[in-house]
Amino acid sequence: MRKSKQGERFLTASDAKSLDKKAVELLGIPVLVLMENAGRCVSEEALNILRQRRGKVALFCGTGNNGGDGFCAARHLLTGGIKPDIYLSGKIADVKNEAKTNLDILLRMKQKIIEVNPANISLIKTKKYSLIIDALLGVGLKGDIRYIYQELINIINASRAFVLSVDIPSGLDATTGKVGKVCVKADKTITFVAKKRGMVSETGRKYCGEVLVRSIGIEL
C-alpha cells in the first residue's frame, strides 16, 4: 500500500485481494455481501448519470466477480425501473460462485442475458445506448486478455455512450497502471475502498476518467 503526499492511500492488486480475504476470513463478511454493496454503489451512480443522459443502458459483464458486481447492479437497476441489456463474455455455465448467485437471480427475474461469442459479437450495436457499464475485468487481471474480451473492449471504446467502469477499467493493471493491447477508456470509474495504485499513474488517469471511491463495508 502506498500513500500520496496528501496521505491518500493507494492499493495494489495484492492489497485489494488481501482486504477481501480479511473481510471474509477474519471479519466474517460473506463475499455476497461485499458484491451486493459494490453492485448497489454502481447502480446508484448509474442512476445519477441517467438523470443527465436519458436513454438505454448496457452492461458488459465478465464471468468473474467483476461481472458479479455488474449482475448485482443490473438487478438494482431493474427494481428502479430501468431494464438494461446485459452482454456476457462467454456462457452462462462459465459463471461460478457468488457471481453465479447474482446471475441466477437475474434469470429468475426473466432478464435476458446475451451470451457473446465470436459468431455473434459483430451483431452488437451500441448506438442505442446512452450509458455502458464496464464490468468485464477487475483488479485481478493477469497476463494477456482473451480475444472475446479484447473485442468487447473495442466495441465499448468505439461507442458514443458514457462509459462507467466497475472498480477499474477493463484492461488496466491495478498495480502498475500499464495496459496491454486494449483497455476500456472510461468517462468515470467507481472503485471500492480506495483508489488502486495503477489508477493514479500517468496512463491510468487517462483511462479511468473521473474516479469515485465508495465504501463496501471494509476498512483499510
- Domains of the chain by range and CATH? 30-120+128-214 (3.40.50.10260)
Band (pLDDT 50/70/90 cuts) for residue 7 is low
Output the pTM of the full model: 0.95
Kindly give, in sequence order, each residue whose CB lies less than 8 Å from that of residue 114, ignoring residues fewer than 6 positions away: 85, 86, 87, 88, 120
Over residues 167-191, mean pLDDT: 96
Average pLDDT over all residues of the chain: 95
Of 51-55, 58-62, 216-220, least confident by mean pLDDT is 216-220
Instruction: Extract long-range pairs of 181-184: CB within 8 Å, 24+ residues apart.
Output: 181/144, 181/145, 181/150, 182/145, 182/150, 182/153, 182/154, 182/157, 183/153, 183/207, 184/134, 184/136, 184/153, 184/156, 184/157
Predicted confidence (pLDDT) at residue 204 exceeds the cutoff of 90 = yes
